[in-house]
């Protein structure tokens, strides 16, 4: 049963990847696009303008292929989940080989699918996979709480030396992954460590009472963990705006980032400043989550 539990965790991870891919690749939008294309193609006089009709038909075919591939992967996840349920209810030894045979190549195909489409969508040459984030409930583990690129071939990653810290394992696994990774040009990544707050943050009732809750928002409750990471900062023209939580590591985080940016870009190229952002983290993100810098070409 230990092996079964491991595969359950693997399947949960793959389900998370599918959810992330649906969001990253705008699958719902693609479905809407396909419907629009199909309605256009079925309208009277569609082929009167041959050039336009050929372009629309080609776009429809491209979108349909992308959706079919994604939906095929999703359907296979459903099949594998059924096999797992059968393995638990019946003779595990007889069903288990079928499950294991299906799972591994499928999970590898999903990774390859994500690689291919993320590269095409983002215009990049390489995707580096970090196994897990620190916010599995609300964001499926967004990377901007865990790591960031400082410059080509240079990254920073969250860090704690406290084995009792809630995200100790995630910090160390992310560091190990990135320290062993290379960029698109084959260069070993240079990895800096950015500390987490000394004390994990939790909601209290007084904080809950300060929030004006929208009817569609996820309610906040006392003792709920908050995803407080200094990594969730914003880079601007010549500046870095760093979250602050009233923690003893607030100053250290700003100093660490200042030292990193000075070393990488030269002293004075960027000025790092801290901004109190507890109210932002109540919403499940932080400064980087509510903004979006646009990199230069």
CA-to-CA dists, residue 192 to 46, 122, 147, 257, angstroms: 57, 25, 10, 9
Question: Which residues are CB-contacts of 256 (< 8 A; sequence separation ≥ 6)?
Answer: 192, 193, 194, 195
- Cα 220 from Cα 230, distance rounded (Å): 21
> Which two structure tokens, joined as six digits, stand for 156?
């920073």
- Cα 227 from Cα 158, distance rounded (Å): 12
Q: Give catalytic status of residue 208 as yes or no.
A: no
Cα 20 from chain centre: 7
Beta strand pairing status for 271-276 and 154-159? unpaired
Q: Which helix (H) or strand (E) holds 259?
A: helix 250-265
Active-site hit among 171, 208, 272, 289: 289
Q: Minimal CA–CA distance to 22: which of 79, 61, 69, 56?
A: 69
Query: Quick count: other Cβ atoms within 10 Å of Cβ 97?
Result: 10
CB–CB of 28/22 below 8 Å?
yes
> Which two structure tokens, joined as six digits, stand for 64?
């349909």
Q: At what angle do helices 2-24 and 92-122 cross, to 10 degrees?
A: 20
Q: Which residues are catalytic?
A: 289
């Amino acid at each position: 049963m230990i092996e079964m539990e491991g595969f359950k965790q693997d399947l949960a991870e793959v389900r998370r990847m599918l959810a992330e891919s649906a969001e990253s690749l705008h699958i719902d939008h693609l479905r809407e696009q396909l419907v629009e294309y199909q309605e256009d193609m079925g309208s009277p006089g569609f082929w009167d303008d041959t050039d336009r009709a050929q372009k629309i038909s080609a776009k429809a075919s491209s979108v349909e292929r992308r959706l079919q591939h994604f939906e095929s992967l999703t359907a296979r996840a459903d099949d594998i989940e059924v096999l797992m349920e059968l393995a638990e209810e019946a003779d595990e030894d007889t069903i288990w080989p079928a499950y294991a045979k299906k799972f591994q190549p499928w999970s590898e195909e999903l990774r390859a699918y994500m690689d291919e489409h993320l590269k095409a969508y983002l215009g990049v040459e390489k995707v580096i996979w970090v196994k897990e984030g620190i916010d599995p409930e609300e964001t499926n583990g967004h990377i901007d709480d865990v790591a960031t690129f400082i410059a080509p071939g240079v990254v920073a990653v969250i860090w704690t030396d406290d084995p009792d810290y809630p995200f100790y394992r995630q910090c160390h696994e992310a560091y190990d992954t990135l320290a062993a990774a290379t960029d698109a040009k084959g260069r070993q990544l240079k990895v800096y460590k950015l500390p987490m707050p000394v004390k994990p943050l939790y909601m209290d009732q007084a904080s809950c009472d300060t929030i004006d809750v929208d009817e569609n928002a996820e309610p906040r409750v006392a003792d709920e963990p908050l995803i407080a990471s200094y990594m969730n900062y914003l880079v601007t023209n010549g500046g870095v705006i760093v979250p602050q939580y009233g923690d003893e590591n607030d100053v250290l985080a700003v100093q660490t980032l200042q030292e990193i940016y000075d070393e990488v870009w030269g002293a004075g190229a960027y000025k790092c400043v801290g901004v109190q952002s507890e109210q932002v983290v109540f919403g499940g993100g932080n400064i980087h989550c509510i903004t979006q810098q646009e990199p230069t070409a």
